[in-house]
Structure 1
Amino acid sequence: MPRARRRPPRHAPGSALRDTLALVALPLVVPLVLPGAFAGGGTRRWFGGRAEGQRAEAQAAKDAAAAAFYELDTAQRDLRISIETITAVDDSPAARRAVSDFEAVGRRIDEASSRYIEAVDAHDLDRDDLEAATAARARTELTRAKEELDRVKQELDRFASGLGPLLGKAETQLARLAPAVERARQALRGASDALDAVRAGGLRADDLAARLAALAPELTKLNQGAGQHGVPHTLQRAEQVAREAEAVRAEAGRLPERAAEIDHRLVSLRTRAQALTTRSEQVEPVLSELRRRFSAACWQDLQHVPDQAGENVRQAEAKLAQARSAREEQRWPDATALLSTARALLNTTDEAVSAAGDRLTRLNAVQKDPQAEIDRTRFAIRDAQRLAMAGRTTPDPRHARPLDDSVARLERAIASLEGRHPDYWHFLTETEAVRRSVADVVAGIREERGSGR
């Protein structure tokens, strides 16, 4: 719609009434003015009451059209503000379509307004010599202009009602903008204060300071405002700055605790390394007894344990020394990573050293009483068989077959104990494998029955 429209002339309030009163008084003075009129005087022509009635109706139509025009103009201006609010926040296809539709409605408003203005300009209702037919034609055209303005107003109202979701979303984002920017600034101040407190305690926190400094350009863009960078980008930037600054603040707050934890882990792991060194020295006597009393198959996989344990402990001690240097230099991520590596090496060593002692203990037990292991495995098989037959006259082949295989496998393992040098370790690994297979069958049966199959 054009920014400046010609304001249609308003009919002076009460003018129709004054004209009517003048016409009522006119017959009393006609005899006095007629001579002058024929002599060329500028007196007003008289067309009778019908012309003035048509004038009044035309003026009323003009006033009604003017009211419709101003109502439409106000509604369009208000809606333009809503469209500008949406476009400032939303660049989605729906928002772009709303802008296009608004422009189309605006063109129809311009067309209706132009016809209204043309109708107003075409008829001077204040002319003294206004004829009844002219007044009637003016009334008709002004009424038609008003009706068209009303129709366009209804179209504009329907369009405005459809903007609700888009406008609500835009207003929500605008309402979030200022608080989000303020939260980002507060988070930056909090992070800076936390770093100052950490430094006052003798910790440098250089990595955290670098992360905080990297947020400075983002703060500059926030200060430049949404007018330069757009509402969505500014809102996203504010939330990102707040998250990163809060992370820096939180890590700075945990830094003294982290330093203390690293110190504790250094002492603990060094003590553990020393203990594993002592335990590693005891592996060789265990292996010697295994070699003396059992067949090679029972211990040959443990031959490497003493050498590997010693190497692992040496590597762990080297990592601990590097971790100590990183701690003194306050390279916290490096110190943490080195401690984790040292711990993994010591865990591996602990498992290997323990495996040698556990092997001797288990082999001693099965050599003394192999029947206990046999009974344990047979009980597991019988328990699974009873479960498989529960509520059935014949077992399901899917369950019976692996259970029968387990029975046969156990018998073969028992047979392997015959002879001068039985492989007890093979016997133990076989019985364990049988029990695992039986447990899988039991789990499958229970799952099927639980699901109603």
Structure 2
Amino acid sequence: MSAADAVGAVHAVQAVQAVDAVASRRDAVARGGPRRRRGGLRRAGQPLRDALALVLLPLPVLPLLAAALPASFAGGGTRRWFGGRGESVRAEAQAAKDAAAAAFYELDSAQRDLRISIETIAAVDSSPAAQKAASDFEAFGRRIDEVSHQYITAVDAHDLDRDDLETSAAARARAELTQAKDALGTAKQDLDRFSQGLTPLLDKAETQLARLAPAVERARQTLLAASNALDAVRAAGLKADDLAGRLAALAPELTKLNQGAGRHGVADTLQRADRVVRDAEAVRAEADRLPERAREIDRRLVSLRTRAQALTTRSGQVQPILSELRRRFTAACWQDLQQVPQQAEENVRQAETKLKEAQRAREDQRWPDATALLSTVRALLNSTDEAVSAAGDRLRRLNAVAKDPQAEIERTRFALRDAQRLAMSGRQKPEPQHARPLDDSVARLDRAVAALEGRHPDYWHFLTETEGVRTTVARVVARIREERGQGA
């Protein structure tokens, strides 16, 4: 086939495409609404397509086209050409018709391509922006139907192949077809601008679609890993019934993943895959930790049992401590400790009962129950330990202050003087908000010291007062440093 033949074949292809598009659009306009087709244009102009097949054979192109085309275009027959002004106008009208056909085909192709983009966005994105894009596209469809109807009407209204076509009719055809071409071109430009504005939504949708297959595969692999970890735990003699139940609950989710995004939607499928990965990974991680968890529970059982026994011995020493406190100090120094022996005994008894329950839970491999019971035992023993220690600490502190109260007084006065120096640093007088609590603390300390002069001084009250003074002084010092740090 020569170069000229090839060019002729290309022109024939364009003619076929234009005929197809016109036929499809004419059907759509006749139905009174935008087309609802999938997979491209409806096929029309089959005789012309048969002629095109012949063109592509190694035969002379023009004679074959001349034989095939008359059956496909309106007004068939052999055209007789006349020179002069009339023929020039006819040629211009034909050129306008060809330009309008090209514009029509470009608009139709752009709309078809954009429909694919809109459907991609709609499959992934249900946001207001995506819904507006779909609505705007439908509005464009109605506008395109209008300009297409204008074009088709202009084509149908004028038979440029008529032998008796008048110059005035050719001129009208040229004007109407040019107007139709301009309307089609304007619609195409607006559609292109609209398409460019969809880029962010389309990029987001394509990104999600690209994530879909890897996300589903990752969910399947995570479920498999969780199942293998559970099998390994059971092989080690651990039941892990709760983990097995959680893994079984993911089976319906896997079924939906296997059914695909076409049934459940891209966004829901991605969310489901992420959820399956998260839950299955949690099961796998807990299964991997389960042997160590069992060993840890065994260690805690032994440790807490030993600690309960030690506290039983230590709580027996509280009564002698209380006896000495009663004998040497006023009631205010020990009255709040009266219930320590009974409370310690009760706490240890409860702890031992909970330890037995925890042991049974461990044997039944009820791991959450065993962990919760051991936490309760630990809290009971901590409370007992603090109460028993408080009795011994009280006696120690009271003995120290009764022997030398001056040490406690000097310790408190030193804290006060240090705070007063800080408050006066860099100024002639301290800030009122700093001076007032410090002055009150001085007076409070003086009252506590004066209370020691009685026959039976309340040393515990004295200790709580001096401790209260030091706490107040520490707050003032912290406030001064914070304020000066902010002003630096």
Q: TM-score, normalised by structure 1?
A: 0.90
Tell me the equivalent position of 1:391. 426
Preserved contact between residue 191 and residue 249 of structure 1 (Cα < 8 Å): yes
* Deviations 1:182-224, CA, capped at 9 Å, x for gaps: 1111111111111000000000000000011111111111111
Q: Residue 259 of structure 2 is aligned with which of 224, 244, 250?
A: 224
Larger radius of gyration, structure 1 or 2? 1
Preserved contact between residue 54 and residue 132 of structure 1 (Cα < 8 Å): yes
Offset of residue 314 of structure 1: 0.7
Tell me the equivalent position of 1:116. 151
| Equivalent residues in 2 for 1:413-428, closer than 5 Å | 413-428=448-463
Q: SS of the residue aligned with 2:473?
A: helix
**Residues 126 and 45 (structure 1), Cα distance of their counterparts in 2 relative to 1, 3 Å cut:** closer
Unaligned runs of 5+ in 1: 19-41
Q: Which structure exhibits the higher relative contact order, with contacts defined as CA atoms closer than 8 Å and separated by 6 or more residues?
A: 1
**Residues 367 and 82 (structure 1), Cα distance of their counterparts in 2 relative to 1, 3 Å cut:** same
**Residues 233 and 210 (structure 1), Cα distance of their counterparts in 2 relative to 1, 3 Å cut:** same
Tell me the equivalent position of 1:337. 372
Offset of residue 250 of structure 1: 0.4
Offset of residue 399 of structure 1: 1.5
Name the amino acid aligned to 2:404.
Answer: D
Preserved contact between residue 448 and residue 462 of structure 2 (Cα < 8 Å): yes
| Equivalent residues in 2 for 1:277-426, closer than 5 Å | 277-426=312-461
Q: Structure 1: how far apart are the matches of 2:134 and 2:257?
A: 28
Preserved contact between residue 367 and residue 424 of structure 1 (Cα < 8 Å): yes
Q: Structure 1: how far apart are the matches of 2:251 and 2:440?
A: 71
Tell me the equivalent position of 1:213. 248
Moved over 6 A (4+): 5-10, 12-15, 42-46
Preserved contact between residue 45 and residue 129 of structure 1 (Cα < 8 Å): no
Tell me the equivalent position of 1:36. none
What is the aligned-residue RMSD (CA, Å)?
A: 2.2
Name the amino acid aligned to 1:118.
Answer: T
* Deviations 1:266-307, CA, capped at 9 Å, x for gaps: 000000001111111111111111122212211111111111
Offset of residue 151 of structure 1: 0.6
* Deviations 1:286-343, CA, capped at 9 Å, x for gaps: 1111122212211111111111111111100111100000000000000000000000
Name the amino acid aligned to 2:224.
Answer: R
Preserved contact between residue 61 and residue 143 of structure 1 (Cα < 8 Å): yes
Tell me the equivalent position of 2:21. none
Q: Residue 135 of structure 1 is aligned with which of 170, 187, 190?
A: 170
Q: Structure 2: how far apart are the matches of 1:365 and 1:77?
A: 95
Q: Structure 2: how far apart are the matches of 1:406 and 1:43?
A: 121
* Deviations 1:393-433, CA, capped at 9 Å, x for gaps: 12222221211111111111111111222111111111000
Q: Structure 1: how far apart are the matches of 2:80 and 2:232?
A: 97
Aligned residues: 427
Preserved contact between residue 265 and residue 339 of structure 1 (Cα < 8 Å): yes
Tell me the equivalent position of 1:435. 470
**Residues 280 and 161 (structure 1), Cα distance of their counterparts in 2 relative to 1, 3 Å cut:** same
User: Which deviates the most, 89-98 or 316-325?
Assistant: 89-98
* Deviations 1:374-401, CA, capped at 9 Å, x for gaps: 0000011111111111122122222212
Name the amino acid aligned to 2:297.
Answer: I
Offset of residue 69 of structure 1: 0.8
Preserved contact between residue 47 and residue 131 of structure 1 (Cα < 8 Å): no
Q: Structure 1: how far apart are the matches of 2:424 and 2:82?
A: 119
Q: TM-score, normalised by structure 2?
A: 0.84
| Equivalent residues in 2 for 1:180-191, closer than 5 Å | 180-191=215-226
Q: Structure 2: how far apart are the matches of 1:405 and 1:44?
A: 119
Tell me the equivalent position of 1:28. none
Offset of residue 256 of structure 1: 0.3
**Residues 379 and 139 (structure 1), Cα distance of their counterparts in 2 relative to 1, 3 Å cut:** same
Q: SS of the residue aligned with 2:411?
A: helix
Structure 2 residue 162 is the aligned partner of structure 1 residue 157: no
Q: Structure 2: how far apart are the matches of 1:5 and 1:181?
A: 38
